[in-house]
């Protein structure tokens, strides 16, 4: 399901990127349930207690709310659900990123992937500023889980400004990763691998700058190229 670690980030980020919450003020508490028989904390469960004013109508959503380590659920119903949920297209052309900085980001991400360097088996999502400085990084067996963990860390750290940041993922970019970036208010998404066609469609709809095949020598631009400076 997920790589243990930063589970609070994962839970809060998932609630944010699925549109269940908009900010941390809607969360009363996050607790680890205790097993009634053993009296020990349960290892694979978190309970998120939302504020009384938060209304959740799961029946209106077109997707089942569960996470896996796969690439996620893609389809037209998901695209329509995101539109109906009130997410708006990004305005303006910030942040702007120099081509030379884009070339150094994959190596910068890899250098901070501590678990991947030991195992070779995890994906990563990293949040960078326009100067190419790493602001936060999360690893997970699933790419979209790693993105949720980044979203959760943004939610809890008011020093981070997602609207002026760049998200880099270590593999291909699925529709769901772009969706989560939109929810987390990140207008610039890079992938070491290629994007799916639906990810490109969603990026164009919401004015997300989407790059693929990013390496130290090249990259492709699929949408909103005005944020890339030559």
Question: Edge-to-edge strands of the sheet including 134-140?
Answer: 134-140, 123-129, 165-169, 188-191, 209-212, 220-223
Six-digit token string for 170: 């270590």
Q: Which residues lie across from 138 on neighbouring strands?
A: 125
In the numeric block, the tokens 């990293």 are attached to 126
H/E element holding 61? none
| Tokens, residue 69 | 């380590």
> Are the CB atoms for 144 and 180 separated by under 8 Å?
yes
Q: Which helix H or strand E contains 228, and what residues bound it?
A: strand 228-229
Q: Are 136 and 160 in contact (CB under 8 A)?
A: yes
Name residue, tokens 């995101």. 82
| Catalytic choice (22, 71, 74, 161) | 71
In terms of Cα–Cα distance, which of 175, 230, 118, 107 is closest to 126? 107
Compute the distance between CA of residue 230 and CA of residue 216 in angstroms, rounded to an integer. Answer: 15
Task: Tell me if 179 sits within 8 A of 201, measured CB to CB.
Answer: no
Q: Which SS3 state, helix, strand or coil, does residue 220 take?
A: strand
Active site residue 71: yes
Catalytic amino acids? 71
């Amino acid at each position: 399901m997920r790589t243990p670690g930063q589970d609070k980030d994962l839970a809060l980020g998932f609630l944010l990127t699925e549109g269940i919450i908009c900010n941390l003020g809607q969360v009363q508490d996050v607790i680890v349930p205790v097993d009634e028989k053993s009296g020990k904390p349960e290892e694979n469960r978190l309970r998120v207690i939302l504020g009384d004013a938060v209304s959740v109508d799961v029946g209106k959503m077109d997707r089942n709310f569960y996470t896996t380590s796969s690439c996620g659920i893609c389809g037209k119903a998901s695209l329509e659900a995101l539109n109906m949920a009130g997410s708006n297209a990004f305005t303006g052309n910030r942040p702007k990123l120099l081509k030379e900085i884009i070339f150094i980001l994959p190596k910068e991400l890899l250098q901070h992937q501590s678990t991947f360097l030991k195992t070779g088996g995890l994906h990563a999502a990293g949040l960078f500023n326009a100067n190419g400085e790493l602001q936060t990084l999360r690893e997970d067996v699933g790419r979209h889980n790693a993105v949720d963990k980044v979203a959760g860390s943004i939610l809890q750290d008011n020093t981070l400004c997602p609207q002026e940041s760049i998200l880099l993922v270590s593999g291909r970019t699925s529709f769901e990763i772009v969706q989560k970036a939109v929810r987390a208010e990140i207008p610039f998404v890079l992938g070491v691998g290629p994007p799916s066609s639906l990810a490109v469609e969603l990026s164009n709809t919401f004015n997300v700058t989407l790059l693929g095949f990013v390496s130290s020598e090249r990259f492709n631009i699929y949408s909103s190229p005005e944020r890339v400076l030559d």
